[in-house]
Amino acid sequence: MKKYKAYAKVNIFLKITGKRDGYHEIVSRFMKVNDLYDELSFVLKENVQAKANEFKIIGDFDCETKQNTIYKAYVALKEATSSDALEKLMQSYAVAVEKCIPAFAGLGGGSSDAATYLKMCNEVLHLGLSLNELAQIGLHVGADVPFFIYGYESANVSGIGEVVEFFEEKPLKFDIYTPQIQISTPQVYKAYRENFYAPTDDFEAETLKKKSALDILNELDAKEANDLLLPALQEYEDLEQYYKKGYYFSGSGSSFFKVKEK
């Protein structure tokens, strides 16, 4: 069966702009990492150990199936489409995932897997859903999913992740390293809210959205570029030893990255 690539991302900058309905609103530049990706495919259940009535994911995951973003994407898609063909597909096939994007890394692996699964189902089942419709479904799974649905090399992402605006710039290659620290995104946001809350104003947000990734990285250091680095360092003291000058922090961590030297 065809394999579908689920690419990682890094956050060139990530600023909190406020709160809405219990969620933090952000403005961020997401960039796709073209040389780091998971691969997803459908495999017949008769070729693997799987029961016909279970949703089966084959891959290196620590969580239970119902906690997996791919399963959550399946539930969201089923609720949005009421597709009998979708249920039949998952009765006959398992989802195989070749995992390369580390978990708890701020690289969007779970969100990218969910987005890729939605696009796979849309293609295989001829559901005819637009990218906008898929992005709306994906938002029920996670705030980063819409970015991966659109597949842009670079985009400004705002709101709670639902506003994804293509940004034209040359793709970059990144050196990424991910410490073996499992960071909880809710815990980092809670620490930000309690100890570091200082929302970015509209003027600064609009200014950042217009600058290239390289200009932003040349002008800001890691703590200035990502509002979540300081709360992450507070909550996970071991993170400090991995923090190197010239590297930047992606998402809520734990990955650090810099642009590859030519």
Give CA–CA dist 46/216, Å, rounded: 51
pLDDT band at 14 (very low <50, low <70, confident <90, very high): very high
Q: Pick the residue with more confidence: 262 or 198?
A: 198
Count Cβ atoms below 10 Å from residue 219 Cβ, excluding itself: 12
Give CA–CA dist 35/10, Å, rounded: 12
pLDDT at 52 over 80: no
Collapsing DSSP states into helix, strand and coil, what is residue 78? helix
Any idea which residues carry the catalytic annotation? 9, 144
The domain 4-166 is classified under which CATH number: 3.30.230.10, 3.40.50.1390, 3.30.565.10, 3.40.50.300? 3.30.230.10
pLDDT attached to residue 28: 98
Among candidate residues 15, 72, 7, 12, the one with its CA nearest the CA of residue 216? 12
Angle at the Cα of 125 from the Cα atoms of 121 and 127, rounded to 5 degrees? 85
pLDDT band at 262 (very low <50, low <70, confident <90, very high): low
Q: Where are the alpha helices (DSSP H) in 174-221?
A: 185-191, 202-210, 213-219
pLDDT band at 164 (very low <50, low <70, confident <90, very high): very high
Give CA–CA dist 199/70, Å, rounded: 32
> 89 CB contacts (<8 Å, ≥6 apart)?
42, 121, 124, 125
Q: What is the DSSP letter of 105?
A: S
262, two tokens:
């030519």
pTM: 0.94
Give CA–CA dist 156/241, Å, rounded: 30
Q: What ranges do the domains of the chain cover?
A: 4-166, 174-259
Give CA–CA dist 12/102, Å, rounded: 19
